[in-house]
Amino acid sequence: MFAYQFMDNAFIAATIVALVSGLVGYFLVMRGQAFAGHALSHVGFTGATGAVLLGLPPLWGLVTMTVAAGVGIGLLGERVTNRDVAIGLVLSLALGLGLLFLHYFTAFATQATALLFGNVLAVDEPTLWSLAGLAAVSLAGLAIIARPLLFASLQPDLAEARGVSLRLVSVAFLAIVALATAECAQIVGVLLVFALMVGPAASAQHLTVRLGYGLLLSALLALFEAWAGIAVAWYTDWPVSFLISALSMTVYLACAGIGRRR
């Protein structure tokens, strides 16, 4: 299976994306913002299709829109959380707009499916470099804000009193989530980002109560799900994204079961 360049690329891309998703996703779950990742990926669909329409690489449209939306959500802060109707409508509009852009760009019929459900087997070398660059930026950002982010997530009132700017931390974190989402969408598509970003992190929290182990487990589970998804797809010819989402669910149920018995 490693005799083919596209399989090598797929495994390298999956490795980069799984590490970022697992680590960022852990904080996302801790903050109770899992749906922010889901929302950002929908908005990213508009960006990606818009970029295709303008003749630009879809990844850059995806990144631009998700980061803009992430910063926007962070700035609006508590005014947008618990507004599920408004968020739902904006998400629908984002997908609808994406469809409109695709409607005007009929050259690639497969483009929509690739964006919505991912196409890791089609990752080329320039895309790999883009993914590596984005991963470096998001992980560096996370390393810088990790300490106040942890404090602000667990004890916001005390963190504020101690001098942490809750808004700055929130905006910076959502920008990092936006980058991670854009990367993740390359592998599993905008509709299934939840599987790789939230699934492993939510599974890890059932297995350990220690922060360091939690982060490590979340990243390892994401790696396992991405690799196993591609490997099984090689032998079964089933879509990679389906396999990753199925593995994500299976691993979550298994971990929740183990966690219950501890």
CB-nearer residue toward other proteins: 69 or 204: 204
Angle formed at CA 242 by CA 12 and CA 254, multiple of 5 degrees: 90
Instruction: Figure out which of the listed residues 56, 95, 100, 146 binds other proteins, where binding follows CB under 8 A.
Output: 146
Determine the Cα–Cα distance for residues 78 and 75; give it in Å rounded to an integer: 9
CB-nearer residue toward other proteins: 235 or 260: 260
The three-class DSSP label of residue 107 is coil
Confirm or reject binding of residue 254 to other proteins (CB under 8 A).
no
Confirm or reject binding of residue 214 to other proteins (CB under 8 A).
yes
134 to 80, 160, 240: CA distances (angstroms): 27, 30, 22
Interface with other proteins (CB under 8 A), residue total 29
241's CB contacts (< 8 A; 6+ apart) are 117, 118, 120, 187, 188, 189, 192, 195, 229
Confirm or reject binding of residue 32 to other proteins (CB under 8 A).
yes
Site string for other proteins, 157-176 (x = CB under 8 A): xxxxxxxx------------
Instruction: Figure out which of the listed residues 29, 175, 197, 223 binds other proteins, where binding follows CB under 8 A.
Output: 29
CB-nearer residue toward other proteins: 63 or 172: 172
Confirm or reject binding of residue 205 to other proteins (CB under 8 A).
yes
Q: Which two tokens stand for residue 2?
A: 């490693």
Confirm or reject binding of residue 210 to other proteins (CB under 8 A).
yes
Considering only residues 39 to 98 of the shown chain, the ones binding other proteins according to CB under 8 A are none
Q: Report which of 176, 179, 181 is spatially closest to residue 198, judged by C-alpha positions.
A: 181
> Cβ 171 to other proteins, closest distance in Å?
15
Confirm or reject binding of residue 220 to other proteins (CB under 8 A).
no
Confirm or reject binding of residue 202 to other proteins (CB under 8 A).
no
- The alpha carbon of 149 is separated from its chain's Cα centroid by a whole number of angstroms, namely 18
> Cβ 151 to other proteins, closest distance in Å?
3
> Cβ 208 to other proteins, closest distance in Å?
9
Own/partner pairs, 31-37, CB within 8 angstroms, 24+ separation: 31/153, 31/173, 33/174, 33/177, 34/194, 34/198, 34/202, 35/87, 36/70, 36/73, 36/174, 36/177, 37/177, 37/180, 37/181, 37/193, 37/194, 37/197, 37/198
CB-nearer residue toward other proteins: 119 or 138: 138
Rule CB under 8 A: which residues touch other proteins? 29-30, 32, 143-148, 150-155, 157-164, 205-206, 209-211, 214
